[in-house]
Amino acid sequence: MINVKELLEELKASPYELIDIVAPHTGVVEFAVKEPGLKVTGAHGAYREKPGTLIATLERERNKKPIRATLTGVVECFEAGLAGRFVEAGTKLATIRHYLTSKEVVDLILKKALFLFPAPERAKYYFIPEIDKKMRASGKNAVEVRDGMELLIMSRMKRETSLPYKGPDGKIYAVYFKLGENVDSGHPLIGVCPGDQLPLVQDVVNRVRSEWEEHE
Amino acid sequence: MSAAHKVLVANRGEIAIRIINACRKLGLGFVAVHTREDMHSGHVRHARTHGGDGAVYRVSSYHDANELMAVADASGATAIHPGYGFFAEDFRFARRVVKRDRPLIWIGPSWGVIRELGDKINTKRLARRLGVPTVPGSDRPIYDEMEAEELAQSLFAFQADQGFERHLVLLKASAGGGGMGIEEVERMDTFRSTYRRLRNYAKRQFQDSGVLIEQRIFDFNHLEVQILGNRRGDAHVHFGTRNCTIQSTGRQKRVEVAPGFAPGELTYGFDAGKVLDDIVEYSLRIAKEVGYNSVGTWEWIVTPKGDPFLMEVNTRIQVENGISGAISKINDEGPVDLIKEQVRCALGEELGYSQDDVSFDGLSIEYRIIAEDPSNRFTPWVGRIDRFAWEEQPWLSVLTHVPTDEPYDIPTEFDPNLALAIVKGKDLAEVKARGVAFLDSLVLAGEDRAGQSLKSNVAFLREKTANILEF
Amino acid sequence: MELDNRIRKLQDRLSYIRDIFGDKENANIALLQARLDEFLTQERGMSLADQMRHMAQLEDLFLFLEKKLDAQLTPMDRVRIVRHPARLCLKDILENVYDNYTEIGGQDEYSIDPSMLIARAYITRRVGKRVINQPVMVIGQEKGHGQEFRNGGSVKPWGNAKALHYMKVAETENIPIHSYVFTPGSYPIEDYPGAAQQIAKNLFEMASLRVPFVSVISEGGSGGAEAIALSDMRLMLSHGYYSVISPEGAAAIEAKTRQGERVAPELIAKCARQLKITAADNLAMGYVDKVIDEPPLGARVDHYDFYKTLRNEMIKATNQVILQVKGMKLFRSLALSERLARKGQAVDAEEVFVSWNLSSKARENLVWKRHQKFRRLAQTAYMDTRTFGEKVVGRFQGLAWAMNSYFRYEFLRKHQRKIKRLQEELEAEVHLVRNKVGKPIRAVMDKFAGGRPQTVSEEAKTSLTQLSKWDDKGGLSNGKWVYTSPKAKEDRTVTCPNAETHGCLDLWAPDLFGEYAGVCGYCGHHFTMEYQWYLHNVFDQGSIFEFNGQIESGNPLGYEGFDERVAEAKKKTGLKSACMTFESRIENLNLVVAMLVAPFRGGTVGAAEGEKFVRAVERARRKHYPLLAYVHGTAGIRIQEGTNGVIQMPRCTMAVQRYIADGGLYLVLYDTNSYAGPVASFLGCSPYQFSIRSANIGFAGPGVIKETTGVDIPPDYHQAHQALSRGHIQGIWDRREARKNITQALLTMGGRNLYYR
């Protein structure tokens, strides 16, 4: 059993994360942000159709691409010295101080309560097509997993192998990998909520809702 | 040659190192790229050592053409070498390189040639026009059952005639892909039902009932001819043949030998010398016809009866180009660096020699040393390499991007090649003995995350050495 | 007590007047207010008789000034009249115009759509000694004096479907239909059956409805109005409006405002004026047949005299429609006019009895008359630069094609069929005989051949490596397109909108817009392409023959500043209208194509576009060619042409209906944004609508939906795949395979002659 109260206190002590905004590829940077301290938002709206705050632009091959805030927060700092210069892929452009939302707090705590199915190898992972379709159509919670069930495909060294799920039966509660990104071996791929854990999950959700104050 | 040229090395690993070396020999500038995953690859080190920090750029992906163009412009590169894999045979990329507002020199065949020979069907069409034999197959989607049957019948007849032990005709849904919609037929009596099943499946699945009718050949030798053309495509020489028959289960080459056969030392059920002459002549015929204007490899199937059939043309520098260079001399000087010749010609220099100035001597073997498990369908092994060492020899060159002085984590993104070892000998017996000696001297050890020790194909390579060039 | 009542009534009238005239200062209104206030303050001190006298005076003043004010009504005031909760509603009409009625399928909010009201009603009267009962089907929008669940008369697709259902019922029962239009426009929702597609279906069916149909327009908002108003006789209430779009909507478009921003009332009033939306305007343009006079400042619930007028007009209109198509027409109309002459005043329809039963032949005649009626509309709303001679030649040519087609497809066919059948029988016989004789021999041959491999001769071996026969198919595939987009000439890269979700890398414009035909190589997203791309890459080379190119878009309403805008569009695109019509071939199959071009004022449809479309349909019908409507893009009806544009919805749909009924194959292909009126009529009615992946298809765009319904819709709400899921279209094509798919569609749906019958 996990101590929800303790975890909550811990998080309350430092209720934010620092998130680096990096250049997704090479190009010439121009900053839209003028000084640190600017409040920014990530994509929002009922369908996330409203884009996040513009941090910078990155121009490559005459294609000026917006670099936007991915989350709500405050610009902690940005690399003003890079303005107008060609940067390599992965160069840090800015840092955002993001205050955790109650949903994120729930996720963080749940990560300790859920069964985490780990990546056996460093590789790229994706769901088998049927599962993927189902998730897209009705959300990740719609997928019930059973021990031995065909769930994921592991892709590495140009080879694809199917990866059956091993662990308790339950519902997928969280997905921790992104399409096309490598996952290190041992890192969790999905979080599964076994049937008997449901009351606990509910408890976490309720407590965070009542106790967590969102930072504006 | 103008020293003002700067070559963007649009590749990684050992080929990047070889290209950098070729540039250095020619006194050219160069710039290398790498991804986050590949930060510790030997080619990055090599570029930094010989070109400084300014010669290395980090990009998001080797597969993103835009990154390469952007780096070329930012670094002031004037030419681009694609190596093998990635963009080497992508005619769109080659076209973009030369057609953009700030054009670069493309070190490879011009895009029109890549397009023409990159299309297998088109290559076959061309070959037939020139009287060059090609591997039989439907080459285009068949919609008519009668025609399909006729084709299958002749394919079976062909396989019988060539003396193959196993007969197999493949049916592929032409709109399919990724292994979907492929059926095998071993006898003519089951052809019709299989064909219909596949046709209906294709119609339902892909809205197109076209079926390709091809064959799978089991016992054959895989030969290659190495060609070089000048930039205008009006002067051509060849650098002999290679035999690449020793492959993994996934049809990946593991051991290559130059030349393609050894008629002086081994006996064949056919006139092997003539086969080698024929395929060289056929290859040059096509190269001249299309105005081939860089290095390229013509791939051939030789059947047990000794009939050669053209499979395809690889419009790029091959991994195994080193063994052809090793047995070749230009005006009695060798070995030949084919990459250097390729770069030189791309920048517009004349060949400066003719076929008569090219001579051959001895044999050469290339081993591809890979962390994989030959007993388990050559499954790649991933982990950390702790020790990698061998005895240096005058007849040996080992090409690798794997550091020998520090541990190295194998990246999971790319081809699993660790190193290429090129062994030279004056005759078959010597080169085989040297090959085995090298493999015996090789130290390769490591551990994966689960604590399992490294698996490699070294034993497989040694075992295969015994029977090279036999057919 | 009685006085109090009268005071309250006057107060109501005054507040109504204030509502109607909006915020405008008006001396007459001020006067009324002053006199009423004066009366109220002095009232207490007066005797009852004085009070009564003053009251009577005051009432007279009200009557007098209301008349005076009526003459000052602006178009926008009229909009406010029809939207006022005091305005008469369909229920009031049912209760007061008809003698008995039963509402079908609705009890206030308990209805599939409370804004659409259906009733079976009776008109009962005594003519001479006979009591006559004449049943009608009444259909119309119910605004319910502001009842919220009525949605202001904004009908959902299923409401319009119900209306269509009962039109068909009326057809079966052979009774006339009376429809009453009280709608600001249809409710923009895409759920099945879909706002646009249902209106299209209604129009298509109404075009051939075999019963007399009279409609009355009070508030006629665009597509929503058309859904129940394609009728034989269109009446309009004198204080109503009939328009392509609400004045607010037009103003929002003119001012290019963004969602939620308010438009200045002056601009709205100006738009209302410019759009020519009043009854008088529409009568002058010919889009309504008659205007029914209302009491000053518009008919309200308690104007009982007006119901009598309306009843009279409805009976008369129905009679007229019937007499037009019934035998003995001359005699009857003579009788009517005789009465008229004798009395020297309006004839009382109550006294005239005309049976509303129609014979089968008369019903056919009715449909034909309806077609002609709409075909003749809007003939002065476009520009035709052909000379008189050219027009005459054009007419004769049409006739010649029709004759030719008649001989080829009607006359010869009958005889050909007999010959063909004989031939087939003969062939079958021969085949049978040959099989019987040939079988044993072939079996023996097979036995010899099978089993062990045949030996192969040298010659055969050579042929083995040359197995398949090459047929060099030139041209269109393999990324070698005949036409290359100008967008493919810039050295730059483009980011696919799906890059984030699908991991698409940036695409190099020359590849993307050249070889890839505007399709993302990673995810298949379709960028939009120019219409020229299709002209050159879909149809056979050099097979395009344009016709009616001289019919040009104009400015029929004299809309301020619009002449320049049309001229600019013509200059920019080099086209004369947003609709290009041509004959062409695909794989040597002839077809007629009508294309709506997005760069010409958004591909909007006005009188010229409608006329060209109708003529293209007629040409296809005469020549017995299949018809393709290729919608490169359309934003809807061209609002600056007002009802001249709206009327193209029924006009074009009727042409299509006739073509299809005649056996024509009508295909629609959407390419980019295809919205509103055209989709809700002549496009949406096709049984075969396909879409290139790049299309968005729907009734109203996201902005309008947010504005009218307050709902945020998902960004992909109108995407082609959604339209397919909702059943609005029949398939989605990859742009690169458009040619192949059109050919396939022509062959599989068109049959032998690419024409059904």
Domains of chain A: 4-99 (2.40.50.100), 103-211 (2.40.50.100)
Nearest to C493 among A47, A63, A180 (CB): A63
The upper half-sphere exposure of residue A63, i.e. CA atoms within 13 Å in the direction of its Cβ, equals: 20
At B217, list the tokens.
């050949």
Searching chain B, which residue's CA lies closest to the CA of residue C469?
A: B138
At C70, list the tokens.
């009526």
Q: Which regions of B410-470 does DSSP assign to beta strands (E)?
A: 417-425, 443-447
Q: Do C495 and A63 touch (CB under 8 A)?
A: yes
Q: Do C510 and B142 touch (CB under 8 A)?
A: no
Which residues of chain B does C465 touch, with a Cβ-Cβ cutoff of 8 Å? Answer: 128, 133-136, 309
Cβ neighbourhood burial of C192 (10 Å; 0-12, 13-18, 19+) = middle
Searching chain C, which residue's CA lies closest to the CA of residue B136?
A: C465
| CATH hierarchy code of domain B145-215 | 3.30.1490
Q: Return the percentage of chain C with pLDDT > 70, whole number.
A: 88
A77-124 pLDDT, tens digit each: 999 999 999 999 999 999 999 998 888 888 888 888 888 999 888 888
Range with lowest mean pLDDT among A161-165, C279-283, C413-417, C418-422: C413-417
Residue type, C352: V
Q: What is the pLDDT of residue C339?
A: 55
Distance from CA of A148 to the nearest CA of B (A): 21
Q: Return d(Cα B55, Cα C265) in angstroms, integer.
A: 65
Range with lowest mean pLDDT among A79-93, B153-167, C358-372, C541-555: B153-167
Which residues of chain B does C734 touch, with a Cβ-Cβ cutoff of 8 Å? Answer: none
CB distance C184 to C224 below 8 Å: yes
Searching chain B, which residue's CA lies closest to the CA of residue C493?
A: B66
Check CB contact of A45 with chain B, cutoff 8 Å. Answer: no
Distance from CA of A151 to the nearest CA of B (A): 20
For B346-386, give the DSSP string.
HTT------GGGEEE-SEEEEEEEE-EEGGGTTEE--SEEE
- Tell me how crowded residue C229 is: count the other CB atoms within 10 A of its CB: 27
User: Could you confirm whether B125 is annotated as catalytic?
Assistant: no
Searching chain B, which residue's CA lies closest to the CA of residue C495?
A: B66
Split at pLDDT 50, 70, 90, the class of C470 is very low
Return the partners of chain C (3 or more C-beta pairs < 8 Å). A, B
| CATH hierarchy code of domain B6-107 | 3.40.50.20
Is the pLDDT at A23 greater than 90, yes or no? yes
Q: What is the pLDDT of residue B336?
A: 97
Q: Return d(Cα B85, Cα B59) in angstroms, integer.
A: 17
For B283-347, give the DSSP string.
HHHHHHHHT--SEEEEEEEE-TT--EEEEEEE-S--TTHHHHHHHEEETTB----HHHHHHHHHT
Distance from CA of B59 to the nearest CA of A (A): 5
B contact test, residue of A93, A157, A181 with most B CBs within 10 A: A157
Nearest to C468 among B138, B188, B189 (CB): B138
B65-85 pLDDT, tens digit each: 999 999 999 999 999 999 999
Q: What is the pLDDT of residue C434?
A: 59
Q: Do B161 and C508 touch (CB under 8 A)?
A: no
Q: Do B188 and C450 touch (CB under 8 A)?
A: yes
Q: Do C467 and B134 touch (CB under 8 A)?
A: no
Q: Do A90 and B380 touch (CB under 8 A)?
A: no
Domains of chain C: 2-72 (1.20.1270), 82-374 (3.90.226.10), 486-527 (no CATH), 531-750 (3.90.226.10)
- Mean pLDDT in chain C? 88
Searching chain B, which residue's CA lies closest to the CA of residue A25?
A: B60
Return the partners of chain B (3 or more C-beta pairs < 8 Å). A, C
Q: Do C712 and A45 touch (CB under 8 A)?
A: yes
Searching chain A, which residue's CA lies closest to the CA of residue B411?
A: A157
Q: Return the percentage of chain B with pLDDT > 70, whole number.
A: 99
Instruction: Name the region of C52 (left: φ>0; alpha: ψ -120 to 50; beta: rest).
Output: alpha
Q: Which of B254, B316, B344, B434 is catalytic?
A: B316
Is the pLDDT at C448 greater than 50, yes or no? no
Which residues of chain C does B65 touch, with a Cβ-Cβ cutoff of 8 Å? Answer: 505, 508
The secondary structure of residue C474, as a DSSP letter, is -
Nearest to B133 among C454, C465, C510 (CB): C465
Q: What is the pLDDT of residue C330?
A: 59
Is the pLDDT at B367 greater than 50, yes or no? yes
Searching chain B, which residue's CA lies closest to the CA of residue A185?
A: B449
For residue A79, what are the contacts with CB-CB under 8 A and spacing of at least 6? A91, A92, A93, A94
Split at pLDDT 50, 70, 90, the class of A2 is low
pTM given for the model: 0.88
Nearest to B64 among C460, C461, C505 (CB): C505
Return the partners of chain A (3 or more C-beta pairs < 8 Å). B, C
Nearest to A89 among B59, B69, B415 (CB): B59
Nearest residue to B316 (alpha-carbon basis) of B118, B48, B137: B118
- Going by DSSP bridges, is the β-strand pair A27-31/A150-156 parallel, antiparallel, or unpaired? unpaired
CB distance A74 to A16 below 8 Å: no
ipTM comes to 0.91
Q: What is the pLDDT of residue C489?
A: 93
Q: Do C468 and B99 touch (CB under 8 A)?
A: no
Nearest to B60 among A89, A158, A186 (CB): A89
Split at pLDDT 50, 70, 90, the class of C452 is very low
Which residues of chain B does A63 touch, with a Cβ-Cβ cutoff of 8 Å? Answer: 66
- Going by DSSP bridges, is the β-strand pair A123-127/A182-183 parallel, antiparallel, or unpaired? antiparallel
B117-131 pLDDT, tens digit each: 988 888 988 998 899
A contact test, residue of C258, C259, C492 with most A CBs within 10 A: C492
Q: Do B57 and A88 touch (CB under 8 A)?
A: yes
**Would you tell me which CATH number, out of the four given (3.30.470.20, 3.40.640.10, 3.40.50.2300, 3.40.50.1980), belongs to the domain B221-465?**
3.30.470.20
Q: Domain map of chain B by residue range?
A: 6-107, 145-215, 221-465
Range with lowest mean pLDDT among A98-102, B337-341, C109-113: A98-102
Nearest to B412 among A27, A63, A122 (CB): A122
Q: What is the pLDDT of residue C84?
A: 95
Is the pLDDT at C454 greater than 50, yes or no? no
| Residue corresponding to tokens 């009188």 | C607
Which residues of chain A does B64 touch, with a Cβ-Cβ cutoff of 8 Å? Answer: 25
Range with lowest mean pLDDT among B344-358, B382-396, C318-332, C649-663: C318-332
Q: What is the pLDDT of residue C446?
A: 45
Nearest residue to C227 (alpha-carbon basis) of C167, C279, C169: C167
Kindly state the helix (H) or strand (E) to which residue C644 belongs, with its residue range.
helix C643-646
Residue type, A140: K
Q: Return d(Cα B54, Cα B29) in angstroms, integer.
A: 11
3-state secondary structure of A182: strand
